[in-house]
Amino acid sequence: MSTNRSGGSAFIKKVLAVALIVPPLSVGTLIGSTAKVLHPVVAGFRVVGNKILDPNGKQFVPYGIVLECAAASVNSINNKCDGKDQTGNTATAVVAAAAKDWHANIVRFQVAQEYLFSGPRGSVNAAYLSLIDSHVNQANHLGMVATITLQEEEQKGPAFPTASSTKFWKFMAAHYKNNPDVFFDLYNEPRLPVEAFGSSGTVNDVWNTWQKGGSALLPQGPSEVGTTRVTYVGMQSLVNTVRAQGAKNIIVAEGVHSDESLSGLPAHTLTGGNIAYGIEPNPIPNRTSSEQYTNFGQYAKTWPIMPEAFLDTYGAGTCDPHSPVDLPPLFKYLKSINMGLIFWTPAPGIGIVGTNLNEPTSYPPGATNVGSPQCPYRGSGFAWSKANKIGDGALIMAYFKANSVPLPH
């Protein structure tokens, strides 16, 4: 989708000056309270066929970033997202750069229910909620959708949603139901293995539990399980919880196998309206056009498919020297099906050089094969090195700049 960003840039310049000084929203702390939005409630986003339409009836194609700090296990609640971690940038600065430098139209905010309900006797923690509200408010005022994602991995939480997820979405749906520029991502990277259903477990068992809930053995690794059984709630139950609060916001349900598979989607679709399905379109296993079609392209013909956290780390840590060759055709395919991309994330050594949010990592000439000496960060894990200048940042920034359209206001 081509776009003229001149109007969006003018809008961003006007609001950027004020967005950072807008105080946190005045919010309640009881389940059932609603957030005060700083713009009138209007007709929001909606799903029609295989598209998400914006309030003006045009297809919304997401281009954006993930902000993890609010769910991260580092720092106390009172010091979250303040830049005192390995990223070196505050969340406020990252959100501002997402709009101004990265030309994003969406930010995924990862949120932990353990922090949200960390007040006295399990009540809502007002400071934490205010932190989330301030991020959402800033993103919306900079012309971006704010997606709330329930993130449990940082807390070593369950593989699939449980009753705690229901409590989380009962509150969040009521809290943001009057803000149509907030999307609800039900659960980050559902990852229940087939082994959780015993020696005769199947992928269909995984999908049935994803959709309808049920019990399974507690995972203890990628394919290892223990003897304890856990009761999970299905994605359909979470959708029902959201809709019961009167929230019509767009809902995203991520696929199984850590958000890398939509294979069971035709037989396990959800009801409730305004529903999209999420997957991570990473280069592996999506290097070729046939792999891209099989893993998400075929489903995009029927349902809105939301791109989740994109991170090209496979085989070479945070530096994959195949990327200069692989990413352009992958981006071309994503554009051809109007799927967009959400990047994880503008952080040192991954998306940016040092802490410079407007200086993306890039690939030098010759970094085109795994043996390239110009791609030093090989192995597992993340470099998180402020000295690393090699990565996908420049390719992603250019892709966003060429295609992203800010929200209508």
Dist CA 128 CA 149 (whole Å)? 15
How would residue 4 be classed by pLDDT, with cut points 50, 70 and 90? very low
Model pLDDT for residues 175-217, shown as the tens digit of each residue:
999 999 999 999 999 999 999 999 999 999 999 999 999 999 9
Would you give the DSSP letter of residue 153?
G
**Parallel, antiparallel, or unpaired for β 352-353 and 356-360?**
antiparallel
Q: Are 224 and 195 in contact (CB under 8 A)?
A: yes
Q: Are 225 and 239 in contact (CB under 8 A)?
A: no
Q: Are 78 and 70 in contact (CB under 8 A)?
A: no
Give percent of the chain with pLDDT exceeding 70: 82
Model pLDDT for residues 41-68, shown as the tens digit of each residue:
446 999 999 999 999 999 999 999 999 9
Q: Where are the beta strands (DSSP E) in 209-250?
A: 213-219, 225-233
pLDDT, averaged across the chain: 85
Query: Higher model confidence: residue 374 or residue 27?
Result: 374
Model pLDDT for residues 253-276, shown as the tens digit of each residue:
999 999 999 999 999 999 999 999
Q: Is the predicted pLDDT of residue 31 greater than 80, yes or no?
A: no
Overall fold of domain 6-96+104-308 = TIM Barrel (3.20.20)
- Burial code (b: 16+ CB inside 10 Å, e: under 16) for 300-330 equals beebbbbbbbbbbbeebbbbbbbbbebbeeb
Model pLDDT for residues 304-362, shown as the tens digit of each residue:
999 999 987 644 455 666 778 889 999 999 999 999 999 998 988 889 988 999 999 88
Q: What pLDDT is attached to residue 36?
A: 41
Rg over alpha carbons for the chain, rounded to the nearest Å, is: 20
- Burial code (b: 16+ CB inside 10 Å, e: under 16) for 376-396 equals ebbeeeebbbbebbbbbbebb
Give the mean model confidence (pLDDT) for residues 84-111.
Answer: 95
